[in-house]
Amino acid sequence: MAGEDLSSAELAAAPRTPLTPAAFLASREGIEDALQRETAAWGMTRWFWGEGVCLLAALRLADARGERAPEWVRSFMDPYLAAPPVLEHVNNLAPGAALAELHARDPRPETAALLEACLTWYERAPEATRAPNGALEHWPGGVWADTVYMAGQFLLRAGRALARPELVSEAEEQWLRHADLLQHPDSALLVHGTNQGVRIDCHWGRANAWFALAGADLLAATGSAAVAERLVPLLEAVAALQPDHGVWDVLVDSPVEVRGILETSAAAGLGAALLRAAAALGPERLGAERHARLRSAGERAVLGAVAYVDDGVLTRVSAGTILQLIPFGYSVIRDDRPQPWGQGLAMEALAAWRETHEGGN
C-alpha cells in the first residue's frame, strides 16, 4: 500500500542465534532457576494480568520440575485473602487461575470465597460486557484475543478446583465465540481484536499465543473436537510462517512495516502451545507428519525464545499493547524493559518442554 512507514523496521536489531538442543539441555536448569529467582525478586503485588500470567506459569514450571509451589506465589495471595482485590476489568481475573490451582492443592474457605467473588464479577458485573455472539468483551465494543487467556484460564481452572464442570464448558464456549470473531477465515491466524464489531486484520503475535495457549489447555482438559478444529489450523499457519531462528515478528505474518521487529514472549507462548497441543492430540489425531511438524515448530520457538534470556530476564518483550488499527502501530511499541508477561511466558515455554519430552529431556 502507499505510504508504508518502514522507519522502525529498518532499525530492528538482528535476531540472535537460537540455542541448539544440546546447549539448551545443558543450560536449561540454570535458565529456569534464574527466571524464577528474578521474577520472585520483583516483589509483584498488583492483582492484574501480568502478575496473573507469572503466577500461573511459576506454578506450572514448579510442577514440571517436581517441586512445591513457590513460596512467593503463595504469599502473593495472602493480602487478597484478607482484603479482596478491586475487580473492575477482565484482566483482574488473570490471577484467579493461579488461585484456583492453589485451591485445588489445598482447599480453604478463604480461597473458595475469593474464587467465588471473581466468578460473580464475571457473571454479573456491568463492566463485563458481551458482544452480540456472547463473547466477553475486553473493552465495551471490543473483543480481544487476550481475553480467552485472562478469563479463560481462570474459568477452566476454577471449574476443576470447585468441581463445577459448567465453568469448564463456559471456558470452551468463550474460546469458540472468540474464534468466530477473531480467527481469519482465509489464513486461520488470530487478529488482535475487533473495534465496534469490525475485525482489525493485524495478526499480533501475542494474541495468537494467548489464544493458542488457552486452546491447548482446553484440549488437554476436554479433548474437544471443536477446539481442535479451530486450533490446529492456527498452529499450522504460524508454523508455516516461522523463521529459521524460531522467533516471529511482532505481527506473525510480517508486513513490511514490522519486518525484523521480533517479539520473544509471543514465541515463548506459541512454542508452549505447539508442544502441548501436539502432545494432547498425538499422532493418532494429527497424523504422524503433522504431529512431527507442529512439535518441531514448538521446539524451534522455545529454543529461539530462551536465547533472549539474559540474567533471568526475557528480553525483547513488547510492552502492554492496546489494539492498533494499522500494522505500523505495532512497530513502535517499546520492547526495552522487563515485563512480567515475558517472564511468565518464558516459564510456560520451559514448563511445556519438560511436560512433553520424555524424562524432561
For residue 64, the tally of other CB atoms under 10 A from its CB is 18
Count how many Cα atoms sit within 13 Å of the Cα of residue 186 in the half-sphere of its side chain.
3
Examine residue 4 and state whether it is found in any structural domain, yes or no: no
**Amino acid 308: pLDDT:** 98
- Across the chain, mean pLDDT equals 97
pLDDT at 346 over 90: yes
**Amino acid 3: pLDDT:** 63
Examine residue 6 and state whether it is found in any structural domain, yes or no: no
Q: Which three cell numbers stand for residue 65?
A: 520440575
Examine residue 2 and state whether it is found in any structural domain, yes or no: no
What is the DSSP secondary structure assignment for residue 10, as one 8-state letter? G
d(CA 39, CA 42): 5
Q: Could you give the C-alpha distances from 200 to 142, 195, 224, 326, in angstroms and in order?
A: 10, 7, 28, 8
* 65-84 pLDDT per residue, tens: 999 999 999 999 999 999 99
Examine residue 115 and state whether it is found in any structural domain, yes or no: yes
**Amino acid 2: pLDDT:** 54
Residue 225: pLDDT band by 50, 70, 90 thresholds?
very high
The CATH code of the domain that includes 99 is: 1.50.10.10
d(CA 233, CA 92): 30
**Amino acid 273: pLDDT:** 98
Examine residue 1 and state whether it is found in any structural domain, yes or no: no
Q: Could you give the C-alpha distances from 259 to 8, 82, 247, 254, 276, in angstroms and in order?
A: 9, 48, 12, 5, 28
Examine residue 360 and state whether it is found in any structural domain, yes or no: no
pLDDT at 1 over 60: no
- Average pLDDT of 273-277? 98
**Amino acid 20: pLDDT:** 98
How many domains is the chain partitioned into structurally?
A: 1
Residue 282: pLDDT band by 50, 70, 90 thresholds?
very high
Coil, strand or helix at 231: helix
- Structural domain for 315, as ranges: 15-355
* 205-217 pLDDT per residue, tens: 999 999 999 999 9
- Average pLDDT of 121-128? 97
d(CA 146, CA 48): 13
- Average pLDDT of 113-140? 97
Q: Could you give the C-alpha distances from 18 to 69, 287, 340, in angstroms and in order?
A: 30, 28, 22
Examine residue 265 and state whether it is found in any structural domain, yes or no: yes
Examine residue 24 and state whether it is found in any structural domain, yes or no: yes
* 153-181 pLDDT per residue, tens: 999 999 999 999 999 999 999 999 999 99
User: For residue 54, how far is the Cα from the chain centroid?
Assistant: 10
